[in-house]
Structure 1
Amino acid sequence: KHRQVTAAGPGGVGKTRLALAVAADLADDFPDGVWFVDLVPVTDPGRVGAAVAAAVGAGDQPGRDIDDAVLAALAEHRALLVLDNCEQVRDGVAPFLERLLTACPRLYVLATSRARLMVPFERVFPVPPLSRDGGDESDAVALFMDRAAAVGWPPGPTVSEGVVAICERLDGMALAIELAAARWSTLGLDGLTAGLSDQLRTLSGGARADDRHRSVRAVLDWSHDLLEPQDRALLRRVSVFVTPFTADAAAEVAAFTPLDASAVFDGLGRLAEQNLLSVTPSETGTRYQARETIRQYGTERLTDAGERTVVRSRHAQWCLAAAEALSGSGDADWRVRFDAVADDVRAALAWAADRPERREDACRLARLLAGLAFTRNLLGEAQQRYEQAARLAGDAAGASALREAAAVA
């Protein structure tokens, strides 16, 4: 066995699907547990260890770095750690893993990334597209059939040859197949074949590896173009959320011209029907989330529409309101509510801190997050955020008071 395997491949090829399947198959081999950590919400490479600590239940302790707490917690464990979406914080993942695998000799790590992580223990597994071998018995066709049936109209045997051809045109890319299958009930074989052929022809050419990426991009463009204008606006605006979000949160951020709150609520359901958003129940209500490839696509569209600044600003205001509500709350579900929004607050803070015109908002966010982190017993982060707030404070007295708070934390 290899201590650390990186499942590498382009966005949409099915890395997360593969990692979850492997973890499920190997669960019995790891008596001390299997942990899954999604790194999409982590915007600061220095917080990779904190994300792992939250997943494995390693508490922050005074005088101990959070990374050290993780090493101590896992030192004797025979366990599997699955780190998903490592590429955006690779500079933080690589040194953390090197320390972790050295200090925890019985620990194994399965990572997913668009590129190798370049750590000493690493074995890279290039994730292939879904197999098209076997025609209508192939893995690619099975996924298409399953997703088409989920939207209410399972393809019959008379169209199996056409479905095989669609999966072949999409290079077996899992995300592209799922998005195409979601349109089966409204377009049928002829509509899918014609629409995809036009889109793929536009993006054709280049190396084969690039063609696989183009297959996903083509289907994203095609799926986007089939949406009503209001739903296009909603998809790009909710891409600002880095963690699963509620309908009310989406309305706070996305409900401005041409959308109102009712259009947001209705649009979330339509986007979910088209596999552009996933829907999951939680302790704090139904939540929606776009897979990372779709979220990045939405972010591109947000920039193209000239809405990035206004949507990021509305997201920051929503985060401020959420943090202020938590600061004054003593509810029994406080911890769950904090964990549900903390990564969005961190992302909003990172965005605001880099913009002089948002300095006041950034200081408030840092100060609020510092207090919340302290209450949550994230002592290292509390100190970090108080120090950040002190740097952002506009007056000497305020900065001094915040530095004193940091010393206490």
Structure 2
Amino acid sequence: MNPVEGMTSHNLPVEPNRFVGRARDLDELCGLLRDQRLVTLCGVGGIGKTRLALRVAAKVVPDFPDGVWLVELARITGADLVAHEIANTLGVREERSRPSLDGLLVRLRGARALLLLDNCEQVVERCAELVSELLAGCPDLRILLTTREALRIPGELVWRVPPLDLPDARHPDAEAVLLFTDRALAVGTRLSGGDFDDVARLCVALDGLPLALELAAARTRMLSPAQIADRIGDRFRLLTSGDRTAPARQRTLLATVEWSHDLLTPKERVLLRRLSVFAGHFDLDLVEQVCADDGDLPSHEILDLLGGLVDKSLLLADGGRYRLLETIKQFAAERLRDEDERTWFRDRHLQVICEVQERCFESGLATPRAPWPERLPYFVRGRALIDDCRAAVDWAVESDNALLGLRLAYVASALLAVHGEIAEGVEWFERLLRLDLTGVPPEVVALSKGALAYGLEARDDLAGCERVVTEALKEQEKVPHSLGKGVTLNVAGVLLLRTGQFDRAERHFEEVVATTREWDDTFNRVIAHSCLAVLAGVRGQLRLAQRHAGEALAVAKENGHPWHVAMATSQLAAVAEWRGDTEAAVTHYREAAAIFDELDNRVEMERCLVMVAKVAIGRGDHATAEGLLAECLELAQKTGQRLGMARVLRVLSRLADVEGDLAGAVLSSGAATALAEEMGEPTVSGRIEELLARARDKLGEGRTALQWSRGRELDPVEVARLVLAGEGGGNGRLPVPAVAEVPHPVLTAREQEIAGLLTRGLSNRAIADELVISPATVARHIANIMEKLGFTSRSQIALWAVEHDLGSA
């Protein structure tokens, strides 16, 4: 007779609600229990260990004819009671002369059964001893455990229970979202489609932690998902409405985390709270530099303490790198504040991150003639610390530490720029330069302003760039040459080049070439030669352009950084295109795009691929051009680059034109021109005027004015999609404004004049320049015209003006 024959096959509770997600985990764990005798589910409190274990146990009941038995150990505080609790669950009666273990061995020997020991962490050492003896004496027994800390005995397979999958653009219905919506529905809240962006934001903020999501869903009886997400920074006070039937430690998020915290040793608690200063992943080296001290935490103890936190599931480990879940981090940060350690360790974090990033900048970017394999480790390390740079800059602003903040922003923004990420560095410098700069060395301020000017130019704020670069150049006059000073000089030249001041730009770049030779600054010499190649090309001096482009590539290879090689290669491609060597142009552009792709620089990659599309149009390969432009449209949209979007639209206009879609060509050209004006760039009018002249002949004045005006008004992405879909002519989704039958004498002479200028698609500033009035006056006149004619858009005015022969006004 089997030891438990005739008894119920399991004592598992009925699930209180629907089980959501973790399909892969379930399948793998069920399979493992057929081969592994001991499987331990580890994870932080609230991650769903118990629920997952119960689900697994229920699914494998048929595999264990002698029973599946749940033993709840959470309320057990004495180690000597563990065996007693298991025995009591199995109906084993103790004998005075024999310990509980002996009875268990008799009962389970030869039985094909599964024990589920739930919440073992507070008696983990006794559980380890007991489980070892049970497995040794009962060869057909399987044991499944849930605990925050693994048993660490032979034969144990540790399964780290991960948070639920989080939503992203490709997986909006991730496990975390499904759980939240299911639990919200259970409390009577039916979410609408408009709630899901906020639900996704909430799921990410709560790390996909099931308990936190369930507590948040319970709050939907009183608050919308948006309101909950906005308040989640105070999560421990917000998430307090748990299941009254649950153990006390699971009724609030705070109680759950405190339960895990109370199981730590005193030194583990100290380290945990200090780790809260890290924003992203961190490694042992950083922890030793930031968190160790000569008193509570000597550096030689850090490794073992980290291991303890990992074992207790309060710290996630991945290949030598660690991170805290946001919920644990917030709890630990409160403990850091309570212990009055926040200021000291945030200061220490800022200091260490700044020093590490300065080393990464110097060895990964600034050092000339270093081969890429030597640079790469510094580049990767610096890039991996960007989250901590953000936190450190925030602290520099909060603590008014302008010097360390500017030093960090300078090197970190340079590493970001290699990826084409510009905006964040601009924001850092703008915040930091508003602090009290007393005591900050003048060269630090000067170089910071130069870096800010670089960012403003790169994000097309030419007016802001001109103001800042002028200040930087003046302040850098007495500063010895450095990489940063060379950047400032190059930015000034690029600004002049982009605004059509070619002679002044040339003098700037020539000065950079001479200075960088003297100071062995290969970094900036590559850029200067590339810009001189552009300048020569604009002037039609193709041999000179070829010479400068070749020199740029040679210096780039000498420098050793692939970003420079890619930039110089793309410039060589442009020169080949100007010379009519389309095959060489495509080859060079694709080479450069591949390097930028490896560097994860989507901005420059998009620029190169747009140029390949342009060359493809010239070679008659329209299908390739269309595919590339669709790809570039997505890249430009994701990177938020107006300049990139304008490039796509200009080339798309060419494609539409050669394919006979004249209306689409005008539409996309109008959108590109509007973007250029927004950026303060001069617009090249030759091709545009020729295009508009042909359009007026073929499409008529009215339709041409309409297409041009609508291109300027519509969202640029929408324009590009319409033209790519062949709907740019207005017969598809393109809205055509209604034009009222209103006689033009209703307008004043000045209003008629402005209406006529709108037929040319001019901006308010362009009209103001032509009429020698202010843009604000133009805006008032246009508002008056709309009110008199009952119109809502400039394109309606333009079409009305054409129909009333005001186009030549």
Given the two structures, how large is their TM-score scaled by the length of structure 2?
A: 0.27
Secondary structure of the 1:182 match is helix
Residue 42 (structure 1) shift: 0.6
The equivalent position to 1:71 in structure 2, one of 105, 117, 121, is 105
Q: 1:40·1:292 contact (CA, 8 Å) conserved in 2? A: no
Q: 1:23·1:34 contact (CA, 8 Å) conserved in 2? A: yes
Report whether the alignment pairs 1:195 with 2:162: no
The equivalent position to 1:275 in structure 2, one of 235, 242, 249, is 242
Q: 2:249·2:255 contact (CA, 8 Å) conserved in 1? A: no
Tell me how far apart the structure 2 counterparts of residues 110 and 185 of structure 1 sit (CA, whole Å). Answer: 37
Tell me how far apart the structure 2 counterparts of residues 96 and 34 of structure 1 sit (CA, whole Å). Answer: 18
Q: 1:12·1:293 contact (CA, 8 Å) conserved in 2? A: no
Tell me how far apart the structure 1 counterparts of residues 258 and 149 of structure 2 sit (CA, whole Å). Answer: 21
Q: Give the aligned partner of residue 47 of structure 2.
A: 13
Report whether the alignment pairs 1:297 with 2:255: yes
Report whether the alignment pairs 1:144 with 2:111: no
Q: Give the aligned partner of residue 99 of structure 1.
A: 133
Q: Give the aligned partner of residue 114 of structure 1.
A: 148
Q: 1:179·1:223 contact (CA, 8 Å) conserved in 2? A: yes
Tell me how far apart the structure 1 counterparts of residues 150 and 114 of structure 2 sit (CA, whole Å). Answer: 19
Q: RMSD across aligned C-alpha pairs, in angstroms?
A: 2.2
Report whether the alignment pairs 1:60 with 2:91: no
Q: Give the aligned partner of residue 165 of structure 1.
A: 201
Q: 2:239·2:252 contact (CA, 8 Å) conserved in 1? A: no
Q: Give the aligned partner of residue 239 of structure 1.
A: none
Q: 1:176·1:220 contact (CA, 8 Å) conserved in 2? A: no
In the TM superposition, 1:17-56 aligns within 5 A as 17-56=51-90
Q: Give the aligned partner of residue 84 of structure 1.
A: 118
What are the Cα deviations for residues 315-350 of structure 1, in whole angstroms up to 9, with x where unaligned? xxxxxxxxxxxxxxxxxxxxxxxxxxxxxxxxxxxx
Q: 1:4·1:121 contact (CA, 8 Å) conserved in 2? A: yes
Tell me how far apart the structure 2 counterparts of residues 125 and 293 of structure 1 sit (CA, whole Å). Answer: 25
Secondary structure of the 2:158 match is strand
Q: 1:136·1:142 contact (CA, 8 Å) conserved in 2? A: no
Q: Give the counterpart letter for 1:221 in structure 2.
A: R
Residue 85 (structure 1) shift: 0.6
Q: Give the aligned partner of residue 220 of structure 1.
A: 236
Tell me how far apart the structure 2 counterparts of residues 91 and 135 of structure 1 sit (CA, whole Å). Answer: 41
Greater RCO, CA 8 A, separation 6+? 1
Secondary structure of the 2:97 match is coil
Residue 77 (structure 1) shift: 0.8
Tell me how far apart the structure 2 counterparts of residues 298 and 15 of structure 1 sit (CA, whole Å). Answer: 13
Secondary structure of the 2:107 match is helix
Secondary structure of the 1:171 match is coil
Residue 136 (structure 1) shift: 3.9
Q: Give the counterpart letter for 1:156 in structure 2.
A: S
Larger radius of gyration: 2
Q: Give the aligned partner of residue 155 of structure 1.
A: 191
Q: Give the counterpart letter for 2:176 in structure 1.
A: A
Q: 1:81·1:108 contact (CA, 8 Å) conserved in 2? A: yes
Residues 299, 193 of structure 1: CA spacing in aligned structure 2 closer, same or farther, 3 A cutoff?
A: closer
The equivalent position to 1:128 in structure 2, one of 134, 156, 162, is 162
What are the Cα deviations for residues 269-311 of structure 1, in whole angstroms up to 9, with x where unaligned? xxxxx22422xxxxxxxxx64345749828969xxxxxxxxxx
Residues 300, 78 of structure 1: CA spacing in aligned structure 2 closer, same or farther, 3 A cutoff?
A: closer
Q: Give the counterpart letter for 1:153 in structure 2.
A: T
Tell me how far apart the structure 2 counterparts of residues 135 and 162 of structure 1 sit (CA, whole Å). Answer: 15
Residues 295, 154 of structure 1: CA spacing in aligned structure 2 closer, same or farther, 3 A cutoff?
A: closer
Tell me how far apart the structure 2 counterparts of residues 111 and 15 of structure 1 sit (CA, whole Å). Answer: 9
What are the Cα deviations for residues 253-275 of structure 1, in whole angstroms up to 9, with x where unaligned? xxxxxxxxxxxxxxxxxxxxx22
Tell me how far apart the structure 2 counterparts of residues 21 and 6 of structure 1 sit (CA, whole Å). Answer: 15
Q: Give the counterpart letter for 2:173 in structure 1.
A: E
Q: Give the counterpart letter for 1:277 in structure 2.
A: R
Q: Give the counterpart letter for 2:185 in structure 1.
A: A
Residues 48, 174 of structure 1: CA spacing in aligned structure 2 closer, same or farther, 3 A cutoff?
A: same
Q: Give the counterpart letter for 2:71 in structure 1.
A: V
Residue 155 (structure 1) shift: 1.4
Tell me how far apart the structure 1 counterparts of residues 218 and 61 of structure 2 sit (CA, whole Å). Answer: 32
Tell me how far apart the structure 2 counterparts of residues 299 and 4 of structure 1 sit (CA, whole Å). Answer: 26
Q: Give the aligned partner of residue 254 of structure 1.
A: none
Percent identical pairs in the alignment equals 39
Q: 1:11·1:293 contact (CA, 8 Å) conserved in 2? A: no
In the TM superposition, 1:219-238 aligns within 5 A as 219-224=235-240
Residues 298, 159 of structure 1: CA spacing in aligned structure 2 closer, same or farther, 3 A cutoff?
A: closer
In the TM superposition, 1:205-216 aligns within 5 A as none
Structure 1's unaligned 5+ residue stretches are: 200-218, 225-273, 279-287, 302-409
Q: Give the counterpart letter for 1:107 in structure 2.
A: L
What are the Cα deviations for residues 8-51 of structure 1, in whole angstroms up to 9, with x where unaligned? 11111111111011111111111111001111111101111011
Q: Give the aligned partner of residue 220 of structure 2.
A: 184
Secondary structure of the 1:183 match is helix
Residue 61 (structure 1) shift: 2.1
Moved over 4 A (4+): 291-296, 298-301
Residues 188, 294 of structure 1: CA spacing in aligned structure 2 closer, same or farther, 3 A cutoff?
A: closer
Q: 2:165·2:208 contact (CA, 8 Å) conserved in 1? A: yes
Tell me how far apart the structure 2 counterparts of residues 293 and 46 of structure 1 sit (CA, whole Å). Answer: 28
Tell me how far apart the structure 1 counterparts of residues 139 and 64 of structure 2 sit (CA, whole Å). Answer: 13
Tell me how far apart the structure 2 counterparts of residues 102 and 165 of structure 1 sit (CA, whole Å). Answer: 49
